[in-house]
Structure 1
Amino acid sequence: MSDSTLYRNGSVYSPADPTATALLARDGVIAWVGPDAEAPSADVTVDLDGALVTPAFVDAHVHLTDTGLALSGLDLSGARSAGEVLAAVAAFAGKLPGDAVVLGHGWDETTWDDQAKPEAAALERAAGGRRAYLSQASIHSALCTPSLLAAARGRPGFDESGWVRREAHHVVRELALGSVPAVQRGRAQRVALARAAELGIAAVHECGGPGTSGEADFTGLLALSGQGFPEVYGYWGELLSAAKAKELGAVGAGGDLFADGALGSQTAHLSESYLDTDGCGHGYVSVEQVRDHLLDCAAHGVQGGFHAIGDAAIGTVLAGFAEAARKLGVERLRDARHRVEHAEIVNKRLIAGFVEYGIVASMQPAFDRLWGGESQMYAQRLGVARSLESNPMGAMHGVGVALAFGSDSPVTPLDPWGGVRAAVRHFNPVHRMSVRAAFAAHTRGGWRALPRDIEGARSEPRSRDQRGSEGVLVPGAPATFAVWSVPAGLSHGLPVLDELPVCRRTVLRGRVIYEE
């Protein structure tokens, strides 16, 4: 039996009719777009009361379990000193059982006047003798108590102070998060997905892998895809793991496959030294490993990709692409639509490599908002000149690099309109984007960043025509959209971003997954 809903008396952002005020969804597909006066009949009619209807957002890089734990746990993003971190830990730990692990996230010492970090012993005292793991905003380093720290002794990145990075951090992280019971983990995942739906996000790209999340965590998330929540498309980040990625239900063997670390943890691999520490960070893969991974992806028909932040790491990845092209040909690489996550420190030569190999840049505009400019973390780590040249979204868009925007939550919060505004207001005017282009990168760009054949995804199957039209409100496209209150009004069909829109309803393939 057919099921239809007419949304009327609003504004519909649609290339099919730029003046449309109504939209009809039937059986999960957009059946009609146009003016109220010409609207077909429907089983149900929804009065928009002047609201805006747009394609729903896609967040192209998330960590949902971590996001849910952060939303329901200890948020340290507001701490402005080591003392405030310890006080927050003490208050939070006092409510927990004596054998619990204290999990916190979000501290960022670059925002502190005194950037000295809490020592491991002081952290243990604040936690009342409990184990504690506090991830830095980048999630590439953490503070931990001595009992957790002992497991990482001798690993690269180990420090007696309790601030662990590189491989030592991976060991501590796995130990700490492995202590989270399955029930608590599942609850955190649902909290994160519900929050995404509340913000007008209908699909997310979950980035898992060794050192990021375990296999049970990853497959548990994929099983929730579209079950009253946004759809979840998984990327498994492990070298030479294309077959394994397919077995796990992932759509690609990439995401957080680390070519380097992060700027916040001073482990992103740069071609020039950091200003506030010795060295250029760390590269985790070789040219040959990049090449072989891409060849493995080609052999299994899987989209690949890498996490690469610093220009040296991105250079290594692109050199690996060049080696793979000698075996496969450039066109075959381009057809695979491989991805690079983050791409924060990029010059013109590296951008040309993205164009040559058809690489999708999965980027996070909030990074510039939180850490760019002349006085924030990038400037401390890199200097003002390199800071202002970071995250060059506008320049990449201008030469045809395919962009897909996300949050890297909980590194930055789920906040899609905030991401659009950050791209529009980049600290460097040269790298700014129009609202229309930034919005497209956060909607249609997320769908187009997925592999063309996504039958392995744990979501509803759909026709090839539907996959090509996702992220655009036109007849025949999936009825996936969000309804917004727009307090600052519209300009050229999209919100004026002086005040951010508020989501009133999120619809995924015709089904309401959020309603205020």
Structure 2
Amino acid sequence: MTNPSTLYRGGVLHCPADPSATALLVSDGRIAWLGADADAPAADRVVELGGALVTPAFVDAHVHATDTGLALSGLDLSGVRSSGELLDAVSAFAAGLPGDAVVLGHGWDESNWSDRTLPDAVALGRAAGGRRVYLSQASIHSALVSESLLAACPEVVSAPGYDASGWLRRDAHHVVREAALGSISAAQRVAAQRTALRHAASLGIAAVHECGGPGTSDEMDFTGLLAISGDGVPEVYGYWGELLGAAKARELGAVGAGGDLYADGALGSRTAHVSQPYLDGDAGSCGHGYVTAEQVRDHLLDCAAHGLQGGFHAIGDAAISTVLQGFAAAAGKLGVDRLRAARHRVEHAEIMNKRLIAGFVEYGIVASMQPAFDRLWGGAGRMYESRLGLDRSLESNPMGAMHGVGVALAFGSDSPVTPLDPWGSVRAAAAHHNPVQRMSVRAAFAAHTRGGWRAVHLDNEGVLALGAPATFAVWSTPAGVDRGLPVLLADDPELRGPEDPTPLPVCRATVLRGDVIYEEGQS
């Protein structure tokens, strides 16, 4: 039995193959017809678009759904600007929790505080009324924790990255993170995941790539999220980041053995592996590399043996160099063509140079990147400059240079590291702090739509075309439309940049394979 057909008419369609199209017919989850309103066939149901823009829906190529849901419904620390404000926020939030609850918060970033002194474990516990406290830094690669949480994890004292102050990094952070998130009930976890996915749908996102793995999420969290994929919410494509874990990834239902498979840490916690020392923090420190070139090679060979896509989290140029050395060694065993066909991924790829970009081109590596990183932390006076110096900060996140030489890009948010905000990310790529690294809005939009589908080997998705899956979003466009895409940049070149004031589009509906997963005004 066929499903009822739906005609969407009276709109502006982002349809390069038929720029004059104003209507589309959806039947059995696919686009059955495209054209002008006057030529539209009969349908069981008609939706009047009223001049709204219709585009392919977005794909967010790097998320952490449970963390995102907890951040949306829990303690958001992204707005605090001092130790005192952080403690006040913890105190107010903890007051509404049971005495045995764990206070979970996220998003603090001391790099934008005038006084970067952090509260210690004793002060956190006092503010929380003795409750255990886990507060992840914006990068999710370090956290502030209370004395009682440290006491609940006695093994943490001997783990790399431990500090008695309660600011934990590296392995020590993973230990307390597992303990803190282990306090969440199964019902709370599912509620958080659905909260995150519903929010994504409200922003025109129809699919996300979940990046899990040891130290990031547990197997129950990962498989539970995959179980609700597409159930009235966006589809979820999972990556399990465990070294030599291709068999495990396939067993868990992942599409790849990568994502958060850490080659290094993060710039925010000074654990990204860079070739030149950080300018702040410990003298001479270049961060930490977590894998060797031999381990990268063996992981890629393991992926090839199981017919699975692989990949790594790599932010610093030293870490990316190690990963590419591993690719070169794997190519010696498999051949370059086989590596390219797998479309292996590197997440983030923030600190690059021409040699590293050439390696991405040679091995067909997909760069899963987050334009909001530059918007929030790039440019003068921000975190990248503090860590790296202004010149190196302006060379970071070189999306424009990578796109210009043919590197396959898939854009995302790394939510909750940065918010789910697809049009904001498109604009951030087009308004990079460094004008040399800017992309066109059209290219950035493709990276955030079709690029995400291609990254999971679904090459026929992400377009409005006859016979293609009916996966699209409907938009109000307060700044207008230009050649099938919203106007995102100010007319005045002086106003263009990361803080461009042009209003962004607002999602009216999101459709996934013909099913409406979000409609404006729904609860």
Q: Which residue of 2 aligns with 1:43?
A: 44
- Per the alignment, in what secondary structure is the counterpart of residue 352 of structure 1? helix
Q: Deviations over 1:110-169 (max 9, x none)?
A: 110000011110000000000000000000000001122242111110001100000000
Report the counterpart of residue 182 of structure 1 in structure 2: 186
Aligned to 2:431: 425
1:488 aligned residue: 479
2:7 match: secondary structure: strand
In the alignment, the residues of structure 2 paired with residue 182 and residue 385 of structure 1 have an alpha-carbon distance, to the nearest angstrom, of 47
SS at match of 1:153: helix
Aligned residue number for residue 438 of structure 1: 444
The residue that corresponds to 2:493 in the other structure is: none
The offset of 1:469, in angstroms, is 1.8
Tell me the TM-score normalised to structure 1 length. 0.97
Match of 2:304, as an amino acid?
A
> Superposition pairs for residues 107-186 of structure 1, below 5 Å?
107-150=108-151, 151=153, 152-186=156-190
Q: Which residue of 2 aligns with 1:506?
A: 510
- Structure 1 Cα separation of the partners of residues 389 and 444 of structure 2: 27
Q: Which residue of 1 aligns with 2:413?
A: 407
**1:286-331 alpha-carbon deviations (Å, 9 max, x no partner):** 0110000000000000000000000000000000000000110111
Partner letter of residue 491 of structure 1? D
1:82 paired to 2:83: yes
**1:22 matched to which residue of 2?**
23
Letter in 2 for 1:144: V
Give the counterpart letter for 2:118 in structure 1.
K
- Alpha carbons 1:291, 1:321 under 8 Å: kept: yes
Q: 1:372 touches 1:427 (CA, 8 Å); kept in 2?
A: yes
Superposition pairs for residues 219-298 of structure 1, below 5 Å?
219-277=223-281, 278=283, 279-298=285-304
Q: Give, in whole Å, the separation in 1 of the partners of 2:320 and 2:329.
A: 14
CA distance in 1, matches of 2:351, 2:459: 31
**Partner residue of 2:338?**
332
For residues 291 and 149 of structure 1, the distance between their equivalents in structure 2, rounded to whole angstroms, comes to 37
The root-mean-square deviation of aligned C-alpha atoms, in Å, is 0.6
- Listed as ranges, the matches of 1:49-68 within 5 Å are 49-68=50-69
Equivalent-residue separation in structure 2 for 1:242 and 1:227 (angstroms): 26
Q: Which residue identity is paired with 1:68?
A: G
Q: Which consecutive segments of 4 or more residues in structure 1 shift more than 3 A?
A: none
Letter in 2 for 1:158: Y
Deviations 1:379-401 (A, max 9, x none): 00000000000000000000000
| Counterpart contact for 2:70–2:192, Cα < 8 Å | yes
2:6 and 2:44 in contact (8 A); partners too: yes
- 1:197 matched residue in structure 2: 201
| Structure 2 residue corresponding to 1:395, chosen from 381, 395, 401 | 401
Tell me if structure 2 keeps the 8 A contact 1:202–1:508: yes
Query: Structure 1: which 5+ runs fail to align?
Result: 453-466
Shift of 1:483: 0.2
Contiguous gaps of at least 5 residues in structure 2 = 489-501
Shift of 1:266: 0.4
Distance across 1 between alignment mates of 2:111 and 2:16: 44
CA distance in 2, matches of 1:437, 1:300: 33
Q: Percent identity?
A: 78
Letter in 2 for 1:244: K
CA contact (8 A) 1:16 1:33 kept: no
Deviation at 1:15, TM superposition (A): 1.9
The secondary structure found in structure 2 opposite 1:469 is coil
Alignment-mate amino acid for residue 483 of structure 1 = V
- Deviation (angstroms), 1:468: 2.7
Equivalent residue number for residue 5 of structure 1: 6
Structure 2 counterpart of 1:306, which letter? F
Q: Deviations over 1:363-410 (max 9, x none)?
A: 000000000001110000000000000000000000000000000000
Aligned 8 A contact 2:429 2:444 in 1: yes
